[in-house]
Amino acid sequence: MATHSHDHTPRPLTSKPVSGLSGSILVPGDKSISHRSLILGTVADGQTRITGLLEADDVMATAGAMRALGATIVKNGDQWLVDGMGNGSLLEPEQPLDFGNAGTGSRLTMGLVAGYDFPVKFVGDASLSSRPMGRVLNPLRETGMQVDAAQGDCLPLTVHGAPLAIPITYRVPVASAQVKSAILLAGLNIAGTTTVIEPVMTRDHTEKMLAGFGADLSINVDSQGARHIALKGQTDLQAQDVTVPGDPSSAGFAIVAGLIVPHSDLTVRNVLLNPTRTGLIDTLIEMGADLTVENRRQSGGEDIGDIHVRSCQLKGVKVPAERAPSMIDEYPVLAVAASFAHGETHMLGLEELRVKECDRLAVTARNLEANGVDCTEGKDYLVVRGGAVPGGGQVETHLDHRIAMSFLVMGMAAQNPVSVDDVTMIATSFREFEDLMHSLGARFS
C-alpha cells in the first residue's frame, strides 16, 4: 500500500553550489499519460502493454482503483500489463477507492464510473480531502449521477450513476483538462453523443489517447475558436501498446539547472513535447536559453524529443497570462530561473497557482525572499528581479513537491547553500529526482 504524505517525519535536504552539470538523463514517465493509459486500458478489450509508466504514488493509486473496478494489472519486467474489462463492463468495487494524494486519478475516475448504475466511494489523504471536487461533479450530475458528498463536495464522497444516464453537452467555464477528461470518460458508457465545448484549449492527452484506443471521437473548432469535442458512447475500445514519454514538468528541473549552473552541458532524453505542455521551454527560449530540441519523433500520437541545454546568461521577459495553462506546474522553477536572469521577469495570470497543493504563488514568493531574491507578489502575478542570488535561506515547502525540487535547483547555482525543510513528498511525482541530479553533478546533503 502506498504511504501517504501526511504520515511522515520530515527529511530536510541542503543543496550546495556546484561548478558544472553534465551528462544525459531520462526523466520518469509523464504523469497525465500514465493515469490515462491505466484507465483506458481498463475499459478496452484485450491486454494493454504500457512501457515507461510513472511509478509514483499518485499513479499507483489509480492502478489500485482500476484493479478494484475489475482490471488485472501486473508489472512484467519494464512493462505494465493491463487486462481490460471492455467498455461498459466495470464491476462494482467491494471497498472504497483510496486515491491518496492523486487529484487527477480521483477526478478522472469519477467520470469513468458516472455511466454505471452502482455506488463507488472515493477516499483520499488529508490534502486531497480538502480539495473541492464540485467542478468535476457538477457536469456529471447532469448525466443523472447521484453524489453523496461531505461539505463543499470534498472527499470522502460516494457517487452512483443513473440507470439510464443521459449524454450531456457541457461548456467548460474554467479551463480544466481534468473536467474535460472526466466528462469524456463518462460518455464512454452513456448511449448517444457526449460533447465538451472548450473555449480555451487545455492539455489534450485524453482526446489523443481515446482516439488511439479506437473511440468514436471528433473535434471541430467553431468561429469563436472554441473546440467542440464529441464522443459517441458505448462503442468498443481496443487494447494498445503505450510508450509513456518523459514528463515535461519533471524535465523542467534539470533543464533550468543546466541553464543556471555555470559550465553545464546536459541532455534530457525522451521528453513529451505536446504543444499544450511546452510553456516552460517556450519561455526559456524567449529568455535567451541555449536550448535545442534534437531527435524529434512521434509516439502514440504525441511529439517527443531530446532537450540539450548549456549554461548561459538568461534575460527577464514578460510571460503572458494565456501561457499559464501550458505551464501551470512550472512557475516555481521558472521563478528560480528568473532569479538568475538579467532584468525583470513578469509572470501573469497565476490565479490557479493559489489552489494547488498549497498556495503555490505565495509560497514561491516567500522562499525567493528568504534566499535574497527581490520579487513582488500580486493577486495573480509575480515579478522577479534577477541577478546574483545570495541563497543561504531556509525553504518552507508546505508539503509541495514542486517547491522542494525548484529550490534544490536554486541551491546548485546560488552563492550559498539552500536548505529545504522536507523532501519526502517528492516521491508523489518524481521519486528518482535526487539520484538523477546526483548523476549530473548536484551535491545534496
CATH number (domain holding residue 52): 3.65.10.10
On the question of pLDDT at 148 being above 70, the answer is yes
Domain stops at, among 243, 266, 286: 243
371 and 269 together in one domain: yes
Residue 5 placed within a domain: no
Residue 18 placed within a domain: yes
303 and 410 together in one domain: yes
Positive or negative, the CA dihedral 339, 345, 346, 348 is negative
Residue 141 placed within a domain: yes
Cell of 404: 522542494
Specify the pLDDT at position 427: 86
Specify the pLDDT at position 320: 96
How confident is residue 298, by pLDDT bands cut at 50, 70 and 90? Answer: confident
Specify the pLDDT at position 132: 87
How confident is residue 151, by pLDDT bands cut at 50, 70 and 90? Answer: confident
Pairing state of beta strands 265-272 and 22-26? Answer: parallel
Residue 220 backbone phi and psi in degrees, to 5: -130, 145
Cell of 363: 509560497
- The predicted-structure confidence for 16-61, as pLDDT tens digits, reads as follows 999 999 999 999 999 999 999 999 999 999 999 999 999 988 999 9
List the domain range (segments joined by +) for residue 109.
31-243
User: Nearest-5° angle of CA 61, CA 359, CA 141?
Assistant: 55
The catalytic residue among 30, 98, 329, 400 is 329
Number of domains in the chain: 2
Residue 1 placed within a domain: no
On the question of pLDDT at 4 being above 70, the answer is no
Domain stops at, among 224, 243, 262: 243
Specify the pLDDT at position 2: 42
Specify the pLDDT at position 7: 54
Residues 6+ apart with CB under 8 A from 1: none
120 and 263 together in one domain: no
281 and 231 together in one domain: no
Residue 4 placed within a domain: no
Specify the pLDDT at position 3: 40
Residues 6+ apart with CB under 8 A from 372: 389, 390, 391, 392, 393
Peptide bond into 156 cis (omega under 30): yes
Tell me, what amino acid is at 126?
A: A
Asked if residue 258 lies in contact with residue 265, where contact means CB atoms within 8 angstroms, the answer is yes
* Mean local confidence (pLDDT), 371-394: 97
Residue 131 placed within a domain: yes
Residue 35 backbone phi and psi in degrees, to 5: -55, -50
Domain stops at, among 243, 270, 303: 243
Beta-carbon neighbour count of residue 379 at 10 Å? 8
41 and 126 together in one domain: yes
What share of the chain has pLDDT > 90, as a percent?
A: 86
On the question of pLDDT at 144 being above 70, the answer is yes
166 and 264 together in one domain: no
114 and 166 together in one domain: yes
pTM: 0.81
Residue 72 backbone phi and psi in degrees, to 5: -105, 120
204 and 351 together in one domain: no
Catalytic residue flag (residue 421): no
340 and 356 together in one domain: yes
Residues 6+ apart with CB under 8 A from 332: 360, 364, 402, 403, 406, 407
On the question of pLDDT at 1 being above 60, the answer is no
Residue 299 placed within a domain: yes
Compute CA distances 317 → 160, 325, 377, whole Å: 49, 18, 16
* Mean local confidence (pLDDT), 295-321: 92
Sheet with 443-444: list strands edge to edge: 394-395, 418-420, 13-16, 443-444
Q: How far apart are the first and last CA of the chain?
A: 29
171 and 66 together in one domain: yes
35 and 25 together in one domain: no
Residue 278 placed within a domain: yes
293 and 386 together in one domain: yes
- The predicted-structure confidence for 56-103, as pLDDT tens digits, reads as follows 889 999 999 999 999 999 999 999 999 999 999 999 999 999 999 899
On the question of pLDDT at 354 being above 90, the answer is no
* Mean local confidence (pLDDT), 249-276: 96
Specify the pLDDT at position 428: 81
Pairing state of beta strands 241-243 and 290-299? Answer: unpaired
Beta-carbon neighbour count of residue 210 at 10 Å? 22
CA 154 and chain centroid, separation: 20
